[in-house]
Amino acid sequence: MPTALVWFRRDLRLHDHPPLQAAVGAGYRVVPVYIHESDDTDPWPPGAASRWWLHFSLQRHREQLRRQRSELVVRRGRPLDVLRQLLRETGAEAVYWQRRYEPATIERDRGVKEALRADGVDARSFPGALLFEPWRVRSGNDQPYRAFSPFWRACQALGEPGRPDGKARAPLPEAGLPDGLAVEDLGLLPRIPWDDGLRETWSPGEAGAEAALSAFLEEGLSRYDAHRDLPALRGTSRLSPHLHFGEISPRQAFAATRQRMAAGGAGVTSGGEKFLAELGWREFAHHVLYHNPHFPDEPLNPRFAHFPWRDDDGGLLQAWRAGRTGIPLVDAGMRELWRTGWMHNRIRMVVGSFLVKNLRLPWQWGESWFWDTLVDADLASNSLGWQWVAGSGADAAPYFRVFNPVRQAERFDPDGEYIARWVPELAALPARARRAPWEADATTLRRAGVQLGRDYPRPIVDLKRSREEALEAFQAIKNR
């Protein structure tokens, strides 16, 4: 039987895997391959938290294949060079892979496909990372979308995404498999073990993804509409890192949600529609990135290229990163991020607004920190989120919308549970004082054992004055 290489990247699963299904369906024996590229070939190499996740995801994927009496061949190097070497070693005549949509990867993949086809190899790429290909969704005047709501309506008009395929087996070539590296040889884990919180929080791999989806559909979907904005509760699916690494496909998540909605139950329909729309936001992020390749680095609204950011952060950036700003909701979010590699979306908006508007530091600085510390760091979604909060991107919040962290805590953490969990030095304060300890009277602070400036920092900026300064800065570019 002929042999095909199936090149795994961020699609580390065996269920609903179009390239693997196609190779097996065409009668190929399969050599599963993972190629680890050096950081200098990628303008956005994975950050530390993503590398941690990738290590365990690769291990789980290899274990899955071994249960099928197959193996994941891990190599390091330039993809085209490695693929050509493996083609020589195995005698394979085809290479199949799932598409990615980052600008640099699109360009690289195009070159790989052209070169392999020139060599006489059956080189093909397949969908699987998105519900809809980014080029399929176009407005009435054949332009890409800049706003989410009409984009999602256009997606829905295309009909339901295809049903997910089942689990594919990867039959080995009769001659066996070439040698490869151990996952440990890739050096993905941190040399200094700072990852205890990640290990406590997450279960990377296809089985972990399926368990997370099942638990959310059974326990969280009916309350999703009511709980998804409350960071103290486990009100969201937390599927984002599993989707990013392709341990579960968006078609699987979509189809399973539709099936759960069909079964009915209080709150399931409204929760399901909200959750499907969140999958839609992921689609929208990739749509915007595909049509705007410079989106991760440059503001979509060109006026913001002239925004008067601070020339010197004066230690403000480090205080923000460390969760030592003196603004409890902001600090809680930044500490959750450092400990778990994740942050609730409502809090992402709050800490983002604080950085770009109250501190008036460039959104790219926040984007870079999230890229390094989030286990779900996704180029499209990260860029969309930061440009949204900065007011410079697609469907962005207007710049004059400045999130007040105290008001946000009143609305979405009314009992102060989230702040108490991540800023424990304030846990003995009443909920109201936890939100704004600088407003608490001396007796309240003393009874809780809190001395500002010693046990917890004073605010590094005045929220009201910094908001006014941000709006003044915006006036400088408003009419450009």
Catalytic residue annotation: 278, 281, 309, 345, 363, 386
CA angle, corner 50, sides to 45 and 55, nearest 5? 105
Give 444's contacts (C-beta < 8 A, 6+ positions apart): 429, 430, 433
**Alpha helices, DSSP H only, in 69-171?**
79-90, 103-118, 148-157
Q: What residue type is 335 in one-letter code?
A: R
Q: What angle do CA 13, 14, 20 make, to 5 degrees?
A: 110
Could you give the dihedral angle defined by the CA atoms of residues 48, 53, 55 and 57, in that order, rounded to the nearest 10 degrees? -160
What backbone phi and psi angles, to 5 degrees, belong to 429? Answer: -80, 155
Beta pairing partners, 73: 33
Three-state SS at 168: coil
Determine how many CB atoms are found less than 10 A away from the CB of residue 475. 10
The Cα 190–Cα 131 span in angstroms is 34
Cβ atoms of residues 158 and 136 within 8 Å: yes
Q: What angle do CA 196, 451, 360 make, to 5 degrees?
A: 70
Rounded CA separation 269/273 (Å): 6
Question: 205, 61 in Cβ contact below 8 A?
Answer: yes
CA distance 480 to 474: 11
